[in-house]
């Protein structure tokens, strides 16, 4: 029992095999796996993409076709925006004789200092 509990034979066997085996963290495969797990992280990926974009590079090559497609998308977007605006425009009309509109127009006129003084002198004189 004492022999089985002793660490001496175990330690001797470990010392003898120390030169024969590599620890797991020293193998090239393990190092490669560590690098892959780092690149799989979204955080690292997003930081690298941000750096690339700040330098003015893109993941797509700039070709005449790419610039033509970008321009077409922009025009399409503007065209759809204008069409949608024209459709919605009829639904949102404002009455010219609405009291709030009349008040806003009068307030706009009175913002001019000269008009304000004229109005003040008229009301004071009465």
Q: How far is residue 99 CA from its own chain's centroid?
A: 44
> What's the whole-model pTM score?
0.24
**pLDDT one-digit tens code per residue, 87-115:** 887 777 777 788 888 888 888 877 777 87
- b/e per residue, 117-126, with b = 16+ CB within 10 A? eeeeeeeeee
**pLDDT one-digit tens code per residue, 5-30:** 677 777 777 777 766 666 666 778 88
């Amino acid at each position: 029992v004492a022999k089985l509990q002793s660490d001496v034979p175990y330690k001797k066997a470990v010392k003898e095999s120390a030169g024969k085996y590599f620890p797991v963290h020293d193998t090239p495969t393990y190092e490669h796996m560590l690098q892959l797990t780092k690149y799989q992280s979204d955080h690292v990926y997003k930081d690298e993409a941000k750096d690339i974009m700040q330098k003015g590079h893109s993941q797509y090559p700039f070709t005449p076709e790419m610039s033509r497609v970008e321009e077409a998308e922009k025009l399409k977007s503007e065209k759809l925006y204008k069409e949608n605006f024209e459709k919605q425009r009829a639904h949102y009309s404002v009455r010219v004789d609405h009291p709030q509109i009349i008040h806003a127009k009068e307030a706009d006129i009175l913002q001019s200092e000269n008009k304000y003084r004229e109005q003040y002198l008229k009301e004071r004189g009465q």
